[in-house]
Amino acid sequence: MALLQCFIPSRKDTKLVVTIPPDLELSSSERSVLAKGLNFVPLNPLPDEFSIRRDVSSFCRKLRLRHHFGITDQPDNTSPEDFLNTLGSTRSSWTPKSGENNILDSVIESINKDVDRLLPPKRTTLSNLSPEEQEALLSLKRNKNLIIKPADKGGAVVVWQKDLYVAEADKQLSDQTAYTELPSDPTSDSQALVKKTLTNLIKNNQLPKSATSLLHPCPQISNFYLIPKIHKANNPGRPIVSSHSCPTVLFSEFLDSVLFPLVSALPSFVQDTPHFLRLIQDFEFPENCGERLLFTMDVSSL
């Protein structure tokens, strides 16, 4: 029997929330946030426009003051009244007028235009989360004992207790028939091999010189993680190896673009589950075919 607990979302929510183990405690606000789905984007708090414009104005004033009092080879056109306003124990708010330097005026004008452009448009909705949900989101972010992943099938949001997640990963990676522990990070060796292969292919005119772009500039080791299979007993994890920055990723994408038209032309090619369902939509077993057997295969280890 699968060990899980489900939270049925309200009408406005669209995702099912599943916890592993079933007694994992989550507040109602945390469940409400999770039920919005992993693609939900909270609205950022509106910036304090008054404070921003005040700070920009103060900065521009300092620019004018530094320019004004830094000029020593030009006559000071400050009126006696303005000069007296700069004296005294109170802090001065006097600002030199524009027109002293066209370049400075242009810079300040550009700054103010950038502020107008970068400030977000005013909106009527301050937030798409309630105060309780905002606090719940921060609580989930701070909780290092939870792993939040999408379910392997069904689109549910799964909250996995970290020690159980790590135990499942250790269980899979300890299978020595599928995985071998390496003494060191092989990334640099793999990068050198890819570079050597590309160099030879370019040298033999099998690839153009532009193929050097297939060498990843900053390669990193691949990451292993699990996607929970909540539709199966004991909720095993589906192993995923994320290789988006590994040394061979760009080379692999190039080979995929070359081979895909050939592979997709094969009569046995199946792209994905929807494609398979379309293929068998009108399938019928022939009459008098005897015993009928339908089977599937699944990869248990990468």
Using CB atoms within 10 A of its CB, is residue 195 exposed (0-12), middle (13-18) or buried (19+)?
Answer: middle
What's residue 11's pLDDT? 47
Closest CA relative to residue 22, chosen from 6, 11, 46? 6
How much of the chain, in percent, has pLDDT values that exceed 70?
Answer: 87
Other beta carbons within 10 angstroms of residue 78's beta carbon come to 16
71 and 64 Cβ atoms separated by less than 8 Å:
no
Other beta carbons within 10 angstroms of residue 5's beta carbon come to 14
What's residue 87's pLDDT? 57
pTM above 0.85, yes or no: no
User: What are the backbone dihedrals phi and psi of residue 240, each rounded to the nearest 5 degrees, phi first?
Assistant: -125, 135
Angstrom distance (rounded) from CA 140 to CA 146: 8
What's residue 10's pLDDT? 47
**Mean pLDDT, each 10-residue run in order, the chain (302 residues):** 48 78 94 93 84 93 88 59 59 84 92 90 79 94 96 93 96 92 94 95 94 93 94 91 92 92 87 86 82 77 68
What's residue 13's pLDDT? 52
Angstrom distance (rounded) from CA 198 to CA 191: 11
Contacts of 282 (CB under 8 A, 6+ apart): none
